[in-house]
Structure 1
């Protein structure tokens, strides 16, 4: 494969007033979708750590991978996916999704349970041209091995966030080392960015490799 499609969904679940069984049912139902033919990788679980330059209170994250936009679309309309989405409507307070094509395919498409994922979503300032967008993505790709990055192609649920990146690590200690490295390069892209969401999560044991 010369490219893959990355699909990220952030959920805010009403976990204060909802039976935890309903939340577990949604998460487990989504993780079972890894067995669909279109899915290269899928992991859904609670967010370990979230940071944003503006207020954000998402509680859960889903990350999945596909060979093409067509496979992502087939996943979206698959009856099993539609059923899980419909059954969880009552416990979802908010949702956002970002999709991008990554031309740098990672060696491990389906990170094993226990891996730590880090997703960064960027909302750019108004009227930022294509050249700075490319510069931002190149800075991210050049400095961090194993990361995928791209421009969102599904604006409907993205809340204005237009660039996404994701990478996986053995543990949280590795992430801290990468964070320190990233701080050295923030000046190159800070002037273009209006908001950032950073999500860290652990791949649950219920997630499995589909390839």
Structure 2
């Protein structure tokens, strides 16, 4: 397992900030569409980071937004897994600068399933009726899992999301290859399961070319991996390829 925490700026320690969502957001903190995501070997990962307007958080519109997204689990065919809720912690300067307060993480068996989800009337209605009115900003990335093993997500899981930009002249495929090698060398540190790959949807990605999620059984297990020797070696192996890294954590709650 490899967590690319703050690799782009070794001289500047990342800010650790625990977000303080509104009480209404906490009530829907991290609902998921099923008791656990299906163990799809090569899932299509879809991540959307949302910066909610302060007035939306104050009015409870953020909670309505989350509920509308969670409802898609029973409305959209081909949607294998969906989680929507607040961000737990921003773990890098780039994450602090972007400032997402909420996120959506969903999975699909094929790219066609993702494409069908994007244009499904229920999804369009949720975006137009809730996301757009509540959001100041949104960032989205998609990738096909290049890790050799699936990374199922269960209630209570803590997930670290990493988005990265490569240095000029470096091919993203090279980063994916090196992360695969480094992850294998690090092993499944503290039981983490990973999914990573090259972003194939650049339009809303703000230049991020690579995505990875590392799934832990709990926040305590995620925190325990900090300073792990094998993980530090893995990070050092890929650091020379990276220009900017954004890292944040979120928690998956009980089924919707």
TM, length-normalised to structure 1:
0.88
Measured in 2, the distance between the counterparts of 1:196 and 1:107 equals 22
Measured in 2, the distance between the counterparts of 1:163 and 1:140 equals 15
- Compare the two structures and name the one with the higher strand fraction: 1
Measured in 2, the distance between the counterparts of 1:191 and 1:13 equals 34
1:5, 1:66 within 8 Å by CA — same for their partners in 2? Answer: yes
Task: Compute the displacement of 1:52 (Å).
Answer: 2.3
CA RMSD, 1 decimal: 2.0
2:32 match? none
2:150 match? 106
Q: Does 1:169 align with 2:216?
A: yes
Measured in 1, the distance between the counterparts of 2:176 and 2:194 equals 15
Report how many residues are paired: 205
- Structure 1 residues not aligned, in runs of 5+: none
1:189 match? 238
2:28 match? none
Measured in 2, the distance between the counterparts of 1:23 and 1:15 equals 9
Measured in 1, the distance between the counterparts of 2:128 and 2:149 equals 32
Question: Which deviates more, 188-197 or 49-58?
Answer: 49-58
For the structure 1 residues 158 and 137, does the alpha-carbon distance in structure 2 shift closer, same or farther, using more than 3 Å as the test? same
Task: Compute the displacement of 1:167 (Å).
Answer: 2.4
Q: What SS does structure 2 have at the residue aligned with 1:150?
A: strand
Q: Does 1:14 align with 2:58?
A: no
Task: Compute the displacement of 1:18 (Å).
Answer: 4.9
The superposition leaves residues 89-143 of structure 1 with CA deviations (integer Å, 9 ceiling, x where unpaired) of 12211111110001435263xx232221211111112221356324432245313
Q: Choose which of 84, 87, 94 in structure 2 pairs with 1:47.
A: 87
Q: Choose which of 199, 204, 211 in structure 1 pairs with 2:253.
A: 204
2:31 match? none
Q: Does 1:38 align with 2:69?
A: no
